[in-house]
Amino acid sequence: MPSSGGVVATPVAAPTAGAILQLVRNGRAATRADVARATGLSRSTVSLRVDALLAGGYLVERGDEPSTGGRPPTRLAFDAGAGVVLAADLGATHGRLAVTDLEAQPLAEEPIELPIAEGPDVVLPYVQDRFKELLDEVGKTPTDVRGIGIGVPGPVEYAVGRAISPPIMPGWDGVQIPDRMGERFPGVPVLVDNDVNIMALGDYWTYFRSDVDDLLYVKVATGIGCGVIAGGKVHRGAQGTAGDLGHVRPSEAPDVVCHCGNQGCVEAVASGSALARELTELGFPATGSRDVVALVRAGQPEAVRLVRRAGRQLGEVLAAAVNLFNPLVIVIGGDLAHAHEQLLAGVREVVYQRSTALATRHLQIVRSRLDDRAGVVGAAVTVIEDILSPEAVDRDLAARRGAPS
């Protein structure tokens, strides 16, 4: 019997229909025979569960399996076109919106120039309007929407989607973003997370998930933040503030007052806004990260010197994180990563010097490959991993069985 190569290392603990969908999505099973081998279930039980997934619109069957003789087995495939996800990455000064399929592939996507400080009464209606127009562009309606993922540049109570005292988001404190989105997209799950967490998930899911478990994603832009992927999942910590490296003080940092109230935080001395201010004082006017990068690209020696210094200061903070957490990959993203030669050189110099040899033996420090798109991809992935989790799929199928037909 020809097999599609779904080689199985470990048996599935609870081989429910939801777990079977996961096997197909992960490429571990592509036929009913693969599923039987992976789960240890009988052919008849596999058929019952696969039929439920087919009826639920999660899987489709395709008869195009190449054969070495005999009747080819029907191939099972995840139906990524069975719905769409709306994704928003709302940054401090600009962001990006997308409509994606259920594999986080964009169907329509656009950058937006809208400061988060405009407040929820301006930003959320704008995002809702643009989502409707993007759906129109791709010939979809709100009934096709399976979930909405939103990243915001501040601390979030993830379970309920509420921003908590976000320092650069005036007017957003305590706002229940899912309730507000639900006014225009009723009944659709809305997940809200800190923008750095979703960026970390975007890059991780797209490029690293098959062979990396532990990764740090550092965003260097208006502020400095870090998303932690531990054991393949976003690690939020007890209060959801895990990864808030921006308020660690590097040695020899000047006494610049940070918006958190302390002095010399790495965010206050090495972020895009900090460097822009310093360059302006030196006679090279800059209003933010993008201007700093433009000066670096133009070869302005003071800008190059300051970005290298920022990289070393960031590297000092990251060296401690490397010793504590032992990641395999550090991804550097955010606008200031566009000055990558200088910034990454500074980071690498200090991380490799200050971290233990064992912790850095296989450590890679790389620039974000998704770059400006990391946030929307991660916002979509946040939703997809939630609505397609084995538990969610099993709940949905049970509800369908219980519903009158």
Q: Contact positions toward Zn ion, by CB under 5 A?
A: 247, 258, 260, 262, 265
Q: Considering the complex, state which of residue 55 and residue 257 has its C-beta at the smaller distance from Zn ion.
A: 257
Q: Considering the complex, state which of residue 23 and residue 258 has its C-beta at the smaller distance from Zn ion.
A: 258
Map residue 338 onto helix, strand or coil.
helix
Q: Considering the complex, state which of residue 189 and residue 264 has its C-beta at the smaller distance from Zn ion.
A: 264
Q: Report the nearest approach of Zn ion to the CB of residue 177 (Å).
A: 25
Q: Considering the complex, state which of residue 220 and residue 344 has its C-beta at the smaller distance from Zn ion.
A: 220
How far apart, in Å, do the first and last CA atoms of the chain sit?
A: 38
Q: Report the nearest approach of Zn ion to the CB of residue 225 (Å).
A: 11
CB contact at 8 A, 365 and 340? no
Q: Considering the complex, state which of residue 318 and residue 388 has its C-beta at the smaller distance from Zn ion.
A: 318
Give the span between the Cα atoms of 298 and 55, in whole angstroms.
58
Q: Report the nearest approach of Zn ion to the CB of residue 131 (Å).
A: 34
Give the span between the Cα atoms of 228 and 234, in whole angstroms.
6
Q: Considering the complex, state which of residue 219 and residue 348 has its C-beta at the smaller distance from Zn ion.
A: 219
Give the pair of three-digit tokens for residue 132.
Answer: 């409707």
Give the pair of three-digit tokens for residue 125.
Answer: 């209606």
Q: Report the nearest approach of Zn ion to the CB of residue 309 (Å).
A: 18
Bridge-based pairing of strands 233-234 and 224-230 is antiparallel
Bridge-based pairing of strands 162-163 and 190-194 is unpaired
Q: Report the nearest approach of Zn ion to the CB of residue 256 (Å).
A: 10
Give the pair of three-digit tokens for residue 216.
Answer: 């740090």
Q: Report the nearest approach of Zn ion to the CB of residue 317 (Å).
A: 12
Give the pair of three-digit tokens for residue 365.
Answer: 């420090």
Q: Report the nearest approach of Zn ion to the CB of residue 307 (Å).
A: 20
Q: Report the nearest approach of Zn ion to the CB of residue 269 (Å).
A: 10
Q: DSSP states of 128-144 as a string?
A: HHHHHHHHHHTT--GGG
- What are the residues whose beta carbons fall under 8 Å from the beta carbon of 208, sequence distance 6 or more? 215, 329
Q: Give burial (CB, 10 Å; 0-12/13-18/19+) of 169.
A: buried
Q: Considering the complex, state which of residue 176 and residue 262 has its C-beta at the smaller distance from Zn ion.
A: 262
Q: Considering the complex, state which of residue 265 and residue 377 has its C-beta at the smaller distance from Zn ion.
A: 265
Q: Report the nearest approach of Zn ion to the CB of residue 267 (Å).
A: 6
Q: Considering the complex, state which of residue 262 and residue 287 has its C-beta at the smaller distance from Zn ion.
A: 262
CB contact at 8 A, 53 and 27? no
Q: Report the nearest approach of Zn ion to the CB of residue 270 (Å).
A: 11
For residue 88, give the nearest of 118, 132, 58 by alpha carbon. 132
Q: Considering the complex, state which of residue 226 and residue 265 has its C-beta at the smaller distance from Zn ion.
A: 265
Q: What is the dihedral angle through the alpha carbons of 342, 343, 345, 349, rounded to the nearest 10 degrees? A: 140
CA contacts within 13 A on the Cβ side of 184: 16
CB contact at 8 A, 389 and 208? no
For tokens 């990524």, the residue is 80
CA contacts within 13 A on the Cβ side of 209: 15
Q: Report the nearest approach of Zn ion to the CB of residue 380 (Å).
A: 31
Q: Give burial (CB, 10 Å; 0-12/13-18/19+) of 357.
A: exposed
Q: Considering the complex, state which of residue 4 and residue 262 has its C-beta at the smaller distance from Zn ion.
A: 262
147 - beta bridge partners?
85
